Structure 1
């Protein structure tokens, strides 16, 4: 079996899919996207495919990962690792179809029968959090995540801290003591500011606080984790085992690798194993499309230290299309009491509506995150 074709499809709202085809007609799908840099990653996918994959045996997944990741003298970074990630997903999808088994079976078999998931509530400037949390609770979800703040000063003032606390109070009131909410700081605070903000959250018992500091300040995470009982999470902007190691050493409680950014299933599996040696849980980051979610779930079902799965159905970023628009059989993503059942179909376990994907290709607007500024005109973290 040889790889004969690699295609990419840029589809709304902001996703990039790749399709690998072999000479015996098997097809594998993946999602190699980096939000805001989809065109750049698309170019990288075709460079890697042309240089390393065309004419090759698709079942040599580990060797392909090693060569794609390390075959160039200059390596690493989000663009390359995202391109590798989507191709890696597609190769695992192909392997599962070739062997007639879900990917998680190829990785040792299931350790659970359902995976807990959470919904996003609120946007970049969160408001009416209580109403949105209550709606998700009514829909059967037991966990949500929300932004902790909008634009934020590096050192939050009393009024800003009260707003952070008020959102948490509203979420806790809507969920009751049994539900969970996570708070995403999005790297908008300094380490000192994050410590102040986490302190006001403690009485409301958040499941975790995500990205209290920017990934380039991972060395400061120890100051944050040591000063609170709130579990600290990070990892969506860390792309390899070597990059997550300092965060693990700093005492984070939850690691959030993104399977469309951090080298795909192959590297995320190794990241999860490394996290297990630190007694750290895995909560894959996934505000993306159906293939990224399907790949994340394959990891979830074979990973002992899996905690909860992010998913993007109904997320505020999805304009112009939704996750289920590209899925031939949406049953695989049907929620029951806030959980997803273990997929049993071969490969990634999701059947893509290829006609819908081909028709949507090219209709995606070039998405970029907003650039925020403080009142004095200086750059502010989004």
Structure 2
């Protein structure tokens, strides 16, 4: 067995595992802005994995996550996530079956996707939303705001509502809008803003507060009819245990951060017991998206899937650029169709990956500051 990692633009890390039998599996282990750190973690974990049976996926997951005295956190869980994806890819290819068949078989024939409609300060969001609906999508996601102070002005609150209202008017009531606050609101601001958004009926509001303030989700959920979502910065079923009973309606684990296909499947089962739907986070590359779709075909409580084709982060290189055949990740009517292709259901263009890895990247998220010079949540 061999394991190789590739830092490829715009901000991704790919993992290739080759077995002695000649089967290649791909994974996407990355923390955005910390890709080289995760790359080092994968290299450390490879010392255990090389020489082992790749089909013992669960045993490897247990050892990789628990075999070190110090456990958890986004770097380790993301490193394990990419390895787990690649091992499932290998298992599917060895069996000649898509991964979702190995997870119990499909529960749906197509997966509903949503499209992103702007950056952190998007202009003309109504026109962007209308264009995505015309392209066939039935749901769009937008940022709710730029930076906010702990208790911001009435004008800031009304500006949020006006922007969402413009999107709602543009797409009508037969389509959906997701509003992402990226943890930029304090609990106090969330209490103020959420009731104002209720007449616009968002599909859900994402990260209304930071994950470290998850204890406040129960009170927020009781104070609004808007479904609340969280989870892109939670990395295991134990992290989700703390939020599933607090009134959230949607869980959003990321298959490249939360321990891979193995762990996200377990998180989905936990969420189902709390009547919580799944809308996995995925602003990443083609391997993460393909892994997410394999889960979506097998998860009963799946709601909708994020994807990043054309997103503003992907300058110069986009999701489909690293595929031999773009068909499996091409959407029709805002949906991804189920295929019988083995493994993760995609063929990675190894030459493109190797060529772009020579260029690499050093992507970092921006650091924002308030008008007074203090740190602001990005």
TM-score normalised over the length of structure 1: 0.98
3-state SS of the aligned residue for 1:7?
A: strand
Alignment correspondent of 1:337: 333
3-state SS of the aligned residue for 2:298?
A: coil
Alignment correspondent of 1:7: 4
3-state SS of the aligned residue for 2:170?
A: helix
Q: Are 1:101 and 2:101 matched, yes or no?
A: no
**Matching residue within 49, 72, 76 for 2:68:** 72
For residues 252 and 198 of structure 2, the distance between their equivalents in structure 1, rounded to whole angstroms, comes to 21
Q: Are 1:117 and 2:103 matched, yes or no?
A: no
Q: Do the aligned partners of 1:120 and 1:146 also contact (CA within 8 Å) in 2? A: yes
Alignment correspondent of 1:358: 354
Q: Do the aligned partners of 1:328 and 1:351 also contact (CA within 8 Å) in 2? A: yes
Any residues of structure 2 matched to 1:1-382 within 5 Å, and which? 4-50=1-47, 52-382=48-378
For residues 154 and 35 of structure 1, the distance between their equivalents in structure 2, rounded to whole angstroms, comes to 26
For residues 364 and 146 of structure 1, the distance between their equivalents in structure 2, rounded to whole angstroms, comes to 29
Q: Do the aligned partners of 1:191 and 1:220 also contact (CA within 8 Å) in 2? A: yes
Task: Please say which of residues 78-87 and 333-342 is displaced more in the overlay.
Answer: 333-342
For residues 304 and 240 of structure 2, the distance between their equivalents in structure 1, rounded to whole angstroms, comes to 18
1:17 positional shift: 0.3
For residues 185 and 208 of structure 2, the distance between their equivalents in structure 1, rounded to whole angstroms, comes to 6
Q: Do the aligned partners of 1:191 and 1:223 also contact (CA within 8 Å) in 2? A: no
Task: Please say which of residues 255-264 and 361-370 is displaced more in the overlay.
Answer: 361-370
3-state SS of the aligned residue for 1:247?
A: helix
Q: Do the aligned partners of 1:144 and 1:181 also contact (CA within 8 Å) in 2? A: yes
Q: Do the aligned partners of 1:125 and 1:151 also contact (CA within 8 Å) in 2? A: no
Structure 1 gap ranges (5+): none
Deviations 1:351-379 (A, max 9, x none): 10111101010323211111111111111
1:127 positional shift: 2.1
Deviations 1:157-189 (A, max 9, x none): 110011101111111011101000000010001
Provide runs of 4+ in structure 1 moved above 4 Å.
none
Task: Please say which of residues 36-45 and 360-369 is displaced more in the overlay.
Answer: 360-369
Over aligned residue pairs, what C-alpha RMSD do you find? 0.7
Structure 2 gap ranges (5+): none
For residues 330 and 339 of structure 2, the distance between their equivalents in structure 1, rounded to whole angstroms, comes to 11
For residues 112 and 217 of structure 1, the distance between their equivalents in structure 2, rounded to whole angstroms, comes to 35
For residues 126 and 345 of structure 2, the distance between their equivalents in structure 1, rounded to whole angstroms, comes to 35
Task: Please say which of residues 149-158 and 66-75 is displaced more in the overlay.
Answer: 149-158
